[in-house]
Structure 1
Amino acid sequence: MLLLTFMVICLVNHVNAQDVYAPYRQNWLKKAEQYKPVLKETVKQPFGIVKLEKDASAFQGWKTVSAGGMDQLYNKPFNKGTSGIVVDFGEHMTGYCTFTLKTLRSDMDAPLRLKLTFGEVPAELATPFDPYPGGLSRAWLQDETVTVSVLPATITIPRRLASRYVKIEWLGSSSNFEFGFSDIQFKATTSVSITPPALAAGTPQIIKDIDRVGSNTLKECMQTVYEDGPKRDRRLWIGDLYLESLANQYSFKNDGLTKRCLYLLAGLANDDGILNANAFEEPVPHAQKSRLLDYCYLFNVALKEYVTATGDVETGKDLWPVAKKQLDIAKMYAGADGMMDYQKAEREWWVFFDWKDGLDKQIPLQGITIYALNQTYALAKLLGKENEVAEIPAITKKLKEAAHKNLYDKKTGVFVSGTNKQVSYGGQAWMVLSGVATKAEAQKALKTLPSLPDAVRPGAPYMFHYYVAALIESGLKAEAKEAVTTYWGGMVKKGADTFWEVYDPADEFKSPYNFFPVNSYCHAWSCTPVYFIRKYPEIFQQ
């Protein structure tokens, strides 16, 4: 009833504001709710007790070593002298932690107080959170203080958590009695209900490991929407939706979740038809007002991929008005010379592409615009709507010719971006994926990159996905396999249970938020090796 009331209010408000989606919005939100999955719940028990140790060779300088079985917690009093015990569940989990306390001696004549800190990686538990220097809310960090007045007691932390480790610290209790733990468990949640088929028997072990960790990452992020990160930000972003849906197609095949997310984003679009970059589900579905240019384009690509994979033309036609409307962005910034006005776009939009300071976005914007136009026209043909966008081929041709003329450096064989003629991995990737580069030019540019010390490398797995996709598109199969093995395999070798939001092999403490513990160490956009490994078995499973 709350959701229905909200949708009615939204509909009335949008009509009053001349909402371009007024005829569709209520139906889209109803369909989004219809495809909301029932989460699968699994109770997880701890693996054992571990202790944190400094190790310069370990990820972020910390590792865990075994400190015994759970009897070290369950069969001993918990007091000031035993504070700081770390429980290891042996895997990354998303869900709810419950623990039970018991009296061991005498009467409880005062409340007891505990602090629990939940960590995805060991360094989170070893790094003081305060004074907090981060740029995001301190409340994202997963530490909770619990006060208990009566024993025995079973306490469930009300906040949903994402972690492998739980550090338990004593903050206070009466010296006249003793208490202890009798149980601690985790109720893990996901919308995933199947196990993907095994890879080919001859698949290299590192590829199997990368696929396993990537699948775990995707599973943890597949809740009632495709979340970007179950620890933080815990919402639906278009860019993550696109990459998660690709990996899902070749693993868990939960097409209903993709459908839900597409409808939810459409139903929460702005009145002028332009999409918001992300959406929340609670207390009722609503968008965070954030216009992110490249993500608007990727909605079209995600919808095209969904229709292609499922044959669900009905949904494609239902959401076609949204895809068609996003093309206004290209028309808005395309100049008479065929070049996108990237400087104006950056003044008026959030233009993302990568967590990389200093990345010049002229080439990525030109490339993704061409790519989105091509993909939207392919979608139009699938839906029988190409007559509505008959101008796309001519616009695309003009943008491609202008890009090649203005951005390709024949002398060096790479594409250069902006007034400083920057060379970047992302820039080359988008020139390849957009079809601006010929196959020969694509191979030369991508092979040249490693020899250029000033070339701007990807800042996160998000951009690294597009780089690998470009390698495959250009026919550099061995290089694509090596890139996946080195980059995502590097995280595996450093102990990753799930793949991280940000990974720079040269800087393990890199954070867009000025404090690495607030990074997400299970992040949706990092799951795409699952897509590559399973879509291209001839490259990765041999």
Structure 2
Amino acid sequence: MSKLKYAYIALFIAFLPWLAFQKVNAQDYYGPQAASEWLTVAEAFKPKLIGQEIHPVGVVKLIPDTSAFQGWKTGPAGTLEDFYSKSFRTQSGTVIDFGAHLTGYYTFTIKESQRVLDGPLRFKLTFAEVPAELSTPFDPYPGTLSRAWLQDETITVMELPATITLPRRMSFRYLKIDLLASPRDFDFKITEMKFSAVSSVNVTPPLLSSKTSAVISKIDAVGLNTLKECMQTIYEDGPKRDRRLWIGDLYLQAMANNYSFKNHDLTKRCLYMIAGLADDKGFLYPNAFETPAPHPQQGAFLFEYSLFFNTTLKEYLAATGDKKTATDLWPVAKQQLENINKHLDQKGLFNAAEAQKEWWLFVDWREGLDKQASLQGIMIFALKETWLLAKELGKEKEVSHIPALISKMTAAARVNLYDKQKGVYVSGPEKQVSYASQAWMVISGVATKAEGQKALKSLVNNKNAVRPGTPYLYHYYVAALIKSGLTQEAKAALEKYWGGMVQKGADTFWEAYDPDNELLSPYNFFPVNSYCHAWSCTPVYFIRKYPEIFQQ
């Protein structure tokens, strides 16, 4: 064998360890066993669901009303006793009210009342969270999400008597039952309906102060119900849709849980699950599915959600003192910071236009919102929270660059995004003014207290300011008001916004809500919106964390 061949073989052998490392690294950035170990921990903390049998409370009719939410409300239309005793052939289209928003499994019983069933029955069952869902034709479907998210099911019954439980989990308050087909001379009755409502919540939070107003008490109750419905075996973003774990929702749910149900094991489970599904570079997918086995939704990388993993982990540690979990997942938090410099210019200013070419930047469901200033603030906030986490864990040396980067980015924001003449923070080439930009400049600490107060107060009379489209962003607006010392304004904003939903009949808080556009939908069809949504539950957090503001 020639000396050259020996040299090639020796070189190949020398590179074997490097090649092996590359193979492992591509499979699991955090080590060959980390992902499986983290997912094992997540599975170990899977909660048992608590079931409760619920029966309907009445029969209602749909009433058009321009003053009602989305133009529809319900009113009494008979008793359940009459409904169960009469032929259903004469009652097709009946709407049943279960009295509150529920998540779980529907069961109904059908019995013959005249002759023998000599052909199949067919029903259409439509489950709705709000009345307008039952009053709006679903087809032809104009939405941008799957038509199958809408909760209408066609059921064929071949034999009677029959007790039927739908296999699909439903999230609803109202049920409309239509008879689509039946034998001509046959008659029957629906004789019973019940619902197995499920949640992982098994505790009742402490009562609010006796000084709490009726409005705040009701908002808190609806917020708790929203959170409870979304707390299944993971923190779901919505039990109707999308029924999965999103990091941005997780952050807000976990904070609300810290001050209410205190089910910290569920937060722990979700943190380990998200970490265990990281991509081959160690970055986090924005959301994950729990079944049939935990797996991420691969696709667009949602930049700011990856940073909210860090803030969630920091809040979890503060609430529990569980340093083992925080230490286990610290490498994941540290890795999420690696993207921050990618689209910063030399001054430390974020280039949103370039970032959006490869990443999804969210901030809020609001068309036309410029996201540069918001992302600048979110990054600074995440850096500060990660630095606090590092200090708690004794990991400062691993991220020693953070303080200087915070200073650089803060200075860049103050020089380039603050309009001193108008007293507001602007975003993008058009120097857009928005609630989002002011909120994140305040929360991140870029704005001084005086600047924050001036900027936030100016929004009220600025008709051109881009407003929030969802409770998700409104949460951060209220948080900014509190941070800037505008506590009475924060209370008034919470009462007006979430209280507005309560006044319009909400028994859980909605995914999207614009008081001036009740049909607002990020998906081009409001019935497919979620009307019980995780990111909307945060009045619970504010009311219970700041009793001196909200319970007086």
Q: TM-score, normalised by structure 2?
A: 0.95
Cross-structure match for 1:6: none
**Alpha-carbon separation, structure 2, partners of 1:279 and 1:201:** 41
Equivalent of 1:287 in 296, 303, 318:
296
**Alpha-carbon separation, structure 2, partners of 1:43 and 1:16:** 49
The Cα shift of 1:18 comes to 4.8
Q: Secondary structure at the match of 1:154?
A: strand
Describe how 1:377-526 pairs up with structure 2 within 5 A: 377-526=387-536
Q: Determine if contact 1:107/1:176 at 8 Å carries over to the other structure.
A: no
Q: Determine if contact 2:304/2:375 at 8 Å carries over to the other structure.
A: yes
Cross-structure match for 2:147: 138
**What is the identity, as a one-letter code, of the residue corresponding to 2:74?**
T
The Cα shift of 1:103 comes to 0.5
Q: Determine if contact 2:25/2:280 at 8 Å carries over to the other structure.
A: no
**Alpha-carbon separation, structure 2, partners of 1:338 and 1:537:** 38
* CA deviation string 1:249-292 (max 9, x = no partner): 00000000000000000000101011000000111110001410
Equivalent of 2:227 in 218, 231, 234:
218
Cross-structure match for 2:364: 354
Cross-structure match for 1:89: 98
Cross-structure match for 1:296: 306
Equivalent of 1:240 in 249, 258, 272:
249
**Alpha-carbon separation, structure 2, partners of 1:112 and 1:205:** 48
Describe how 1:251-262 pairs up with structure 2 within 5 A: 251-262=260-271
Q: Determine if contact 1:377/1:386 at 8 Å carries over to the other structure.
A: yes
Q: Determine if contact 1:37/1:224 at 8 Å carries over to the other structure.
A: yes
Describe how 1:7-406 pairs up with structure 2 within 5 A: 15=24, 17-23=26-32, 24-79=34-89, 81-290=90-299, 291-406=301-416
Q: Secondary structure at the match of 2:155?
A: strand
**Alpha-carbon separation, structure 2, partners of 1:148 and 1:466:** 50
**Count of aligned positions:** 530
The Cα shift of 1:202 comes to 1.2
Q: 1:65 to 1:29 in 2, by over 3 A?
A: same
Gaps of 5+ in 2: 1-20
Q: Secondary structure at the match of 1:452?
A: coil
* CA deviation string 1:28-62 (max 9, x = no partner): 00000011000000010000100111111110111
Q: Secondary structure at the match of 1:38?
A: coil
The Cα shift of 1:16 comes to 6.9
**Alpha-carbon separation, structure 2, partners of 1:63 and 1:477:** 35
Q: 1:14 to 1:32 in 2, by over 3 A?
A: farther
**Alpha-carbon separation, structure 2, partners of 1:162 and 1:339:** 44
Q: 1:302 to 1:14 in 2, by over 3 A?
A: farther
* CA deviation string 1:47-91 (max 9, x = no partner): 010011111111011110011221122100111x32100110000
Gaps of 5+ in 1: 1-11
Q: Determine if contact 1:109/1:176 at 8 Å carries over to the other structure.
A: no
Runs of 4+ displaced beyond 2 Å: 12-19
* CA deviation string 1:168-222 (max 9, x = no partner): 0011111222111111111011000001111011101000000000000000000
**What is the identity, as a one-letter code, of the residue corresponding to 2:178?**
E
**Alpha-carbon separation, structure 1, partners of 2:23 and 2:266:** 26
Q: Determine if contact 1:58/1:494 at 8 Å carries over to the other structure.
A: yes
The Cα shift of 1:99 comes to 0.4
Q: Determine if contact 2:425/2:437 at 8 Å carries over to the other structure.
A: yes
**Alpha-carbon separation, structure 2, partners of 1:400 and 1:16:** 35
Q: Determine if contact 2:26/2:281 at 8 Å carries over to the other structure.
A: no
Q: Determine if contact 1:417/1:423 at 8 Å carries over to the other structure.
A: yes
**Alpha-carbon separation, structure 2, partners of 1:117 and 1:491:** 23
**What is the identity, as a one-letter code, of the residue corresponding to 1:340?**
F
Q: Secondary structure at the match of 2:193?
A: strand
Q: Secondary structure at the match of 2:88?
A: coil
**Alpha-carbon separation, structure 1, partners of 2:155 and 2:143:** 24
**What is the identity, as a one-letter code, of the residue corresponding to 2:379?**
T
Q: Determine if contact 2:509/2:531 at 8 Å carries over to the other structure.
A: yes
**Alpha-carbon separation, structure 2, partners of 1:13 and 1:462:** 40
- Alignment of 1:535 with 2:545, yes or no, is yes
The Cα shift of 1:223 comes to 0.3
**Alpha-carbon separation, structure 2, partners of 1:444 and 1:100:** 62
**Alpha-carbon separation, structure 2, partners of 1:63 and 1:247:** 30
**What is the identity, as a one-letter code, of the residue corresponding to 1:329?**
N
**Alpha-carbon separation, structure 1, partners of 2:388 and 2:355:** 25
The Cα shift of 1:425 comes to 0.4
